[in-house]
Structure 1
Amino acid sequence: MNKNLFKFFVSTFTIGICCAGRIPSQVNDGIILSETFESTTIPTSPTTRTTWPATTLRPKECPFFEDNPYGVLCFYWGGQCYCYAKTSSTDWDGAKEFCRTGNMTLLNVETEEEDYTIFINGKYNPGLYYVDYWTAGRYSQEGKNQWEWASTQPYIPMNYTHWYEGGPTSSEPGSCVNFRFSYTDFYQWGWSDYPCSNYAGAICESDSVI
């Protein structure tokens, strides 16, 4: 990525700082105001579901986005690092490129457990909910007629999905998977499909951390 393009991505991102044991609550003139985050458990899911352990903030083990003045809010879970970045000026291709600047990829969601963890982190951290985020989900543009995780080749078909009721609404090339977290219950929440040209933030993941 050339220097000017990188600066464009950085300048369009308004994101929370990643601090051990703390969460962002407000950004004011470039100053991060934060509050202590004490919770170590997540709400119990319906009795027919499994309750999974909460994640832990471990920022020093997560990738570093160079020259990013605000940092990225990251979580460690299952041997991987997940980073949430907010913006209103990045399409799906731009989000994919942004993740690469941190040696990460756009998010693949392969199990219900992983899906639930991503949702809980987004729901219970002020500043992350009611924001749109791109994932690596995309309808195949290569004539495969399927939804797939298009973070790195070879692309992976979606064996697990969690579409919002009635979704996806547009299964055709040019459609990508978008997340928006809210205070709704996980089992009432679901994924959405939007045109890949729309603007949103990004959820990035690492293959593993030390």
Structure 2
Amino acid sequence: MAVAALVLFAALMLLAGAVRSLIQRRRTGDAGNRRTWAPRGSLEWWGLAVADLGYLMAALGAPLAALAGMPPLAVVDHPVVRGVGVVLAILGILATFAAQLAMGASWRIGVDQTEHTALVTAGPFRLVRNPIFTAMTAAFLGLAAMVPNLVALAGLALLLIGIETQVRLVEEPYLRHIHGAAYADYASRVGRFLPGLGRLRSHHPHGS
């Protein structure tokens, strides 16, 4: 299972990273990567760094630790859990790529505070405001379930902390600033990561 988890992680990086950036560059002339623009030590820098560490621990460190002899956690060490993990990882990978494609020309990795892209509210964005993060979390949860050891568990915890930091403290303030009432209205109707959960209180009346 550890080898299978490594293969699926490589597939995720290929699709959601290399292929999506290539598509973006061909369509717009810009690969869409803004992550290196974050000032070192900023909230965005920390959010991305912690999330990256979590990704690597859950999807790379955990399988390598398992191959080196680290035992799985007994409470979740069951073939059914590993099987569900495989399905969840595959579906999460495909959903991540689909949600990225749904953003079209507005897709970015990271935030440029001066950039004004279109607010995407169609497709999976009608259900949740951050379907890419939702799908990626599902994928990494699946990968961790395939190799359920302490490294995977720690990686998931860091991943969630990093994503919450990036979304709540960086991306949402940026979107409120750029899109104003349009984003406030959208965020008041659509959940953050899951349908109906994490909606923001709108300070703007409808139609204003």
Report if TM-score (shorter chain) is over 0.5: no
Relative contact order (C-alpha < 8 Å, sep 6+): which is higher? 2
Higher helix content, 1 or 2: 2
**Given the two structures, how large is their TM-score scaled by the length of structure 1?**
0.33
Which of the pair is proportionally richer in strand? 1
